[in-house]
């Protein structure tokens, strides 16, 4: 792993030395600019598989190498980007957790006139869930390797009006598919009737209307619908297929060039096709406030309430998330970041005692721009989950060193 990291870094240095005539961070190839980036992390994790206090925790050093290449060009004056990122993680004391993930993305911003534009985003992930996460909560140590999946999505937004218009409307639509790889050892360990039926697709569309009530303040009404369909179901009369409808209203405002905030509160409904599932209807919200008194220091406060798809025998998960972060540049090259996040997950509609989780994550980090093309960092992260099911509890600390190399 160390040889892989060193070799990749050496290659990036060679490319940087050979392209001094290029713009900073870019390689010009005709009408296309190539932007290579190399991220590396060296971590120590004291609970690799998210084991509870009742199980033995695996401790390991981890090396992560993540090279990325982005190709940027213009089509009729509109910027288009295509990118690929590879991420390879190797655990020195737990080879069962090694992984290789692939990420592809394509973005385009198309301006038709002063008032109308179209934004498109497409992503593909050939990735993994760490042992003990998502569908292996509470029994990560029992898996022979991480759970793997493929996720693809495409989203587009057509908007009419600009920031100075009295009224502005945005129409959006998207499609997403999630497919997990079959795992015989998981099916033998856990109820196959649950794990076989997690592949699904999403079809979503919506509209947002903005009305300027002050030079820097807009009233917004946001309405969305999402249709969720599972590929298979054990009992056709009790599927997890559902339709979600939400409408939120609130304000967006921009105090100055550095501070933007929004607050939307409204109603969310999740209705299952099956009468045997518990539908949801209740309050939903999205609030984000950024306070930046000076250009080099910013405080963010964010909170949201929504529903998520179940990863257990529940019908759905009712989630509430809260976070506060502070980023401060002490000098031109040295920046620190502190963030605390708290989340509650209520698993609704399951038989017996309902599961309730509380998760806390604290992250402290510091980055130093050693050179224009080299950023070094260090971070420490505390993860803790308390649940009314003892096998789901975990404590997990991560300390890491990072390096980001560009041209």
pLDDT digits (tens, 9 = 90+) for 10-58: 334 334 444 343 566 889 888 899 999 999 999 999 999 999 988 899 9
CA distance 361 to 385: 9
Identify the bridge partners of residue 344 per DSSP, sorted by sequence position.
Answer: 320, 358
CA distance 9 to 27: 17
> Is the predicted pLDDT of residue 247 greater than 90, yes or no?
yes
Nearest by Cα to 245 from 223, 262, 264: 223
CA distance 122 to 110: 15
Query: Domains in the chain, ordered, with CATH?
Result: 2-112+123-147+243-406 (2.40.160.40)
Mean pLDDT of 64-79: 94
Specify the range with the lowest mean pLDDT, choosing from 20-24, 168-172, 245-249, 271-275: 20-24
């Amino acid at each position: 792993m160390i040889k892989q990291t060193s070799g990749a870094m050496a290659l990036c240095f060679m490319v940087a030395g050979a392209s001094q005539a290029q713009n900073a961070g870019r390689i010009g190839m005709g009408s296309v600019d190539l932007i290579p980036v190399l991220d590396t992390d060296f971590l120590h994790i004291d609970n690799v598989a998210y084991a509870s206090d009742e199980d033995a925790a695996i401790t390991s050093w981890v090396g992560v190498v993540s090279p990325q290449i982005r190709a940027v060009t213009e089509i009729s004056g509109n910027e288009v980007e295509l990118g690929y990122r590879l991420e390879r993680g190797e655990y020195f004391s737990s080879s069962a957790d090694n992984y290789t993930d692939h990420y592809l993305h394509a973005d385009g911003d198309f301006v038709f006139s002063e008032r109308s534009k179209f934004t498109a985003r497409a992503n593909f992930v050939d990735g993994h869930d760490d042992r003990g996460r998502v569908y292996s909560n509470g029994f990560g140590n029992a898996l022979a390797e991480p759970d793997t999946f493929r996720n693809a999505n495409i989203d587009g937004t057509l908007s009419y009006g600009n920031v100075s218009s009295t009224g502005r409307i945005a129409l959006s639509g998207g499609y997403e598919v999630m497919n997990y790889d079959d795992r015989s050892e998981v099916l033998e360990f856990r109820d196959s009737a649950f794990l076989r039926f997690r592949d699904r697709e999403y079809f979503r569309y919506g509209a947002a209307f903005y009305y300027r009530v002050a030079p820097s303040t807009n009233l917004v009404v946001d309405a969305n619908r999402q249709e969720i369909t599972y590929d298979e179901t054990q009992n056709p009369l009790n599927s997890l297929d559902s339709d979600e409808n939400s409408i939120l209203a609130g304000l967006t405002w921009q105090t100055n060039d550095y501070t933007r905030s929004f607050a939307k509160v409204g109603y969310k409904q999740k209705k299952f096709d099956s009468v045997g599932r518990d539908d949801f209807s209740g309050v939903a919200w999205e609030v984000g406030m950024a306070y930046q008194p000076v250009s080099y220091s910013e405080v963010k406060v964010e909170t949201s309430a929504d529903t998520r798809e179940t990863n257990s025998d529940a019908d759905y998960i009712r989630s509430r998330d809260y976070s506060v972060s502070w980023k401060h540049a002490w000098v031109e090259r040295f920046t620190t970041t502190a963030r605390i996040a708290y989340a509650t997950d209520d698993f609704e509609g399951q038989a017996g005692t309902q599961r309730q989780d509380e998760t806390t994550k604290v992250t402290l980090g510091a980055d130093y721009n050693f050179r224009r093309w080299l950023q070094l960092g260090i971070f420490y992260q505390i993860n803790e989950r308390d649940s009314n099911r003892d096998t789901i509890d975990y404590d997990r600390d991560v300390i890491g060193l990072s390096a980001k190399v560009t041209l």
